[in-house]
A and B are shown apart, each in its own frame.
Chain A
Amino acid sequence: MKSLILQTATRSLVAVLLLFSIFLLLRGHDEPGGGFIGGLVGAAAFALYAIAFDVPSTRRMLGIRPQMMIAIGLAMAGGAGVISLLAGEPYFGHLWYHTDLPGFGEIHLGTFLLFDIGVFLVVIGVTLLVILTLQEE
């Protein structure tokens, strides 16, 4: 039951959704968004693709097994705290890097971002792990 309309729309929608999910992830610290919400949007994008096309091609597009995403995400989130520990800060006492980027103004970077990306990956990984497996059944 493959719909040509859905497939055509999905092709362009997936790109927009994925961009949007990364946008949400990065702006999360100052505006509504963040790793969790971004991750859900990202997962929705792949889920849409899986419905419009099929699971194997979704897995190909993903390029990485969801289990692996979960593992990398957890490692990044946990690792962010370890970096702080190594720098003599408490676990998850985030480290900061401040800079002025022309055109953007003041930018605050830090290990919090690593943590949020970890959350992002875990959320996408878990959601896709369940959805793709269910769909294969």
Chain B
Amino acid sequence: MGILVAVLSGFVLAFIAPWLTRWLGDRVGWVIALLPLSITVYLLTYIPDLADGGSVHYSFAWIPALDVDLSFHVDGLGLIFALLISGIGTLIMLYGGGYLHGHHHLGRFYLFILMFMASMLGVVLADNLITFFIFFELTSLTSYLLIGFSHNAEDSRYSARQALLVTGIGGQMLLVGLILMALVGGGWEFSVLTEQADVIQDHALYLPMLILILGGAFTKSAQVPFHFWLPGAMAAPTPVSAYLHSATMVKAGVYLMARVNPTLGGTDIWQFVLIIFGAATMFLGAYLAVQRTDLKQLLAYTTVSSLGTLTLLIGIGTEIALKAAMVFLVVHSLYKGALFMVAGTIDHETGTRDVRILGGLRKLMPLTAVGAGVAALSMAGIPPLFGFIGKELVYEAALDLDTFAIALAVVAVASNVLMVVVAGITGFQPFLGEEKETPKHAHEGPPSLYLGPLVLGVLSLGIGAIPALVDTRLIEPAVGAVAGEPVDVTLYIWHGVNAMLIMSIITVALGAVLYVGRDQVRWATNQTWSLGRIGSEAVYAWLLALLDWVSKTQTKIIQNGYLRFYYLTIVVVLIISALYPLSVYGDIRLAGDLNDVRFYEWGVVVIVILGALMAVRAQSRLAAVAALGTVGYGIATIYILYGAPDLAMTQILVETLTVILFVLVLYRLPQFATLSKKASRVRDAIIAGTGGLLMTVLVLVASNERFYESISQFHAEESYPSAYGRNVVNVILVDFRAIDTFGEIIVLAVAGIGVYALLRLRLWEDRSDQ
């Protein structure tokens, strides 16, 4: 039960958060942070259960008929992710309160971010595929709301939509892929499918399944060529970027790949695809990063690079690579979360994020500077920080590959050299050197702003210096879960002098040189900007423009605003779609015998026809309405004659109210006039006549044909015994077919509100003078 509470409590608190915020004001962050903090503590109690490759499984029935259960599976992989989510979540809740201090939508921020946190926990702990997918999509939805948080800004809305579309399309692919995997593997739980790896990998549907699932993972984790949405998402407030785009949301795709690794991984195609895309993303992210001058953009592109590294490592798939993946995952979350928060604090205090005009902040913001420095050192991979261990392992994994090891090692070193440069630019440059003039005069922020980077910095340092704190407790079960078999993990800060150490030294040395010449690096890499015109973001923009054009064009044709064309379209479509089957299936037998029709029935029919003719020939609107009223009352009379009083009453009342409505608008309409040409009137008459004739024939044919037993017999018989009503019509409306009626009154309500909105919007009036 505890795990269900841990996942779902975020949703509950999310909806209370706006009220809490109104009540507590800016201090609310300290209260809200208690939830992720307690979840973190609760999750830590699972560590003993997971030793020796154990796992804990919970299942709660949800939709048993569809094999959809709320089932959760706590294993090493899930736990390490969940701890990052709730742990960094705690700091972000605090940070958000400080960063959005006094923001009038602070409550809304907490609503969204708590829902996001809960969805993320659901993603990494869910065992059932459908439950997993729902949480996965919830993270896309909530991140859409978070990226578009400043919804008044155009770029914010554009970025939010871009992120939603890219990850949403991936989500659809993922759903199909998961269903395929479940059908082939014969189970809806990750833990069950792991056992079916052979069956799944030998199946003919393995390749489509793999492509679809990786489609979901690559879009979510911003792999090339879908990487562009992530830097775009920097339009979000910084606490959001620090949370979603460093430690959590973008890692959901990585999590997915790690989770299905025991089931789908290990094949040649898996290895090939992940290594190619991972390596490309790793390098491209770092390359694009050094071109930027905006702190958040720098960090966003390096995040892309890191996600590529993780994909690459999972793709290599050897024990050492998976170990490197899990270590690097933690390393990256710790330093990137800190650096994002620092970037936000700098922005908040100085009013700018442009690294070219930042400098000398160390004296003004000493605590932030410490947090930033430690994080940057970890990012650069300097011992004794945790980042050093991570980078050593990444190099070891690259060299571990049978083929192309050297090529991959070169790419890895090149990417990491650029990462060192970015680490310097984001973590050191703003704080070193001369104090510079900034839009706002900077000073140290409140504790909520510097606490996050400091805590994460301490963790980077502590774990780096004493890796025994986490290696067997957290990393080992996680690697075991990804590998699908128990492994042994012991981490050392000092490996002795070996190839990896030499590569590390080269990396840092080259990085330092390029950092000194960073302006030249930026200038040189910027010369390739024109390649962006053929990049995937350009394709996205082009597709979006195409979609806009198609919808505008077809709306112009179909929704042309002329009521007469709408009617024309409806009648013509009806004629064609009814005439075709009638002519194909031929054999038209009309029901009824004209001799049965009594003289007063003829009378009513004549009145209805005369009314219709008068309505068409009328020379004033009032006359036309009166004539139509005659038609309506005539039809009501027919209902009465055939024993349907309810229908007749309804018809009469509707006719009456229509007249009232018409009288209300009559005086606002322009003078009655005949504007259409003779030809179009003849055309309309032909179409209308055909339509009417066709309906008559249809009714006569339909009452002659009976494909199924009529249900009216059942309704009449069961009306009193089952529903205690003698009025069958009413019993059908409120009981037998109550859901239909409910739908109808909803439609009625929506239509009424629509009319009201149209009348009150006054779009035709110039609103500027009001």
Chain A residues within 8 Å of B, Cβ to Cβ: 28-37, 40-41, 43-44, 47, 51, 66-67, 70, 73-74, 77-78, 80-81, 91-92, 94, 96, 98, 108, 110, 112, 115-116, 118-119, 122-123, 125-127, 129-131, 133-135, 137
Contacts and interface: CB of A to CB of B under 8 A. Distances in A.
B594 interface: no
Nearest to B738: A92
A44 B727 contact: no
A129 B759 CA distance: 11
B746 A129 contact: no
A40 B654 contact: yes
A104 B660 CA distance: 38
A115 B756 CA distance: 25
B748 A134 contact: no
A44 B730 contact: no
A81 B726 contact: no
B730 A130 contact: no
Q: Interface majority SS on A: helix, strand, loop or mixed?
A: helix
B653 A40 contact: yes
Interface stretch (B225-233, B258-266, B575-583, B642-650): B642-650
A133 B755 contact: yes
A34 B749 contact: no
A134 B730 CA distance: 31
B752 A129 contact: yes
Interface in B352-378: none
Interface string B747-770: 011011101100110000000000
A95 to B, nearest CB: 11
> Which of the listed residues A34, A51, A118 has the most CB atoms from chain B within 10 Å of its own CB?
A34
Given A92-B738, A112-B723, A131-B660, A126 B752 contact: yes
A112 B760 contact: no
Nearest to A122: B745
B664 interface: yes
A24 to B, nearest CB: 8
Interface in B628-687: 645-646, 649-650, 653-654, 656-657, 660-661, 664-665, 668
A115 B734 contact: yes
A123 B748 contact: yes
Top 8 closest pairs, chain A to chain B, by CB: A126-B752, A92-B738, A40-B653, A108-B724, A29-B725, A32-B645, A34-B730, A30-B726
Contacts of A125: 749, 752
A133 B657 contact: no
A44 to B, nearest CB: 6
A91 B661 CA distance: 36
B696 interface: no
A33 B738 contact: no
B748 A130 contact: no
9 contacts: A28-B727, A32-B729, A34-B646, A43-B657, A74-B749, A115-B742, A119-B734, A122-B748, A134-B665
A77 B745 contact: yes
B739 interface: yes
A78 B745 CA distance: 10
B733 interface: yes
A34 B729 contact: yes
Interface in B189-228: none
Most buried by A among B668, B724, B746, B755: B724
Given A44-B653, A92-B738, A112-B735, A31 B727 contact: yes
B730 A73 contact: no
B657 A37 contact: no
Contact of B727 (A29, A40, A92, A118): A29
Given A131-B664, A135-B664, A35 B734 contact: yes
Contacts of B653: 37, 40-41, 44
Interface of B: 645-646, 649-650, 653-654, 656-657, 660-661, 664-665, 668, 723-727, 729-731, 733-735, 738-739, 741-742, 745-746, 748-749, 751-753, 755-756, 759-760
Contacts of A80: 738
Contacts of A127: 657, 752
Given A122-B749, A130-B756, A36 B742 contact: no
A60 B734 CA distance: 31
Nearest to A119: B745
A10 B650 CA distance: 22
A70 B660 contact: no
Contacts of A108: 724-725
Nearest to A135: B664
A126 B751 contact: yes
Contacts of A70: 749, 752-753
A94 B723 contact: yes
A130 B726 contact: no
B753 A67 contact: yes
B633 to A, nearest CB: 15
Contacts of B739: 81, 91-92
A134 B726 CA distance: 39
Nearest to B644: A32
B657 A44 contact: yes
Scoring B645, B738, B745 by chain A CB atoms within 10 A of each residue's CB, the highest score goes to B745
A119 B748 CA distance: 10
B745 A130 contact: no
Given A34-B727, A51-B660, A125-B752, A77 B742 contact: yes
Contacts of A118: 745
Contact of B726 (A31, A131, A133): A31
B761 to A, nearest CB: 12
A137 B668 contact: yes
Contacts of B759: 133-134, 137
Nearest to A70: B749
A129 B753 contact: yes
B756 to A, nearest CB: 5
A118 B746 CA distance: 11
Contacts of B760: 133
A33 to B, nearest CB: 7
Nearest to A27: B727
Contacts of B752: 66, 70, 125-127, 129-130
A64 B256 CA distance: 54
A67 B735 CA distance: 26
Contact of B730 (A28, A77, A78, A131): A28
Nearest to A127: B657
B661 A32 contact: no
Q: Which of A29, A31, A119 has most chain B Cβ within 10 Å?
A: A29
Given A70-B752, A119-B745, A125-B749, 9 more contacts: A31-B726, A33-B730, A37-B649, A40-B653, A67-B753, A74-B745, A94-B735, A131-B657, A134-B664
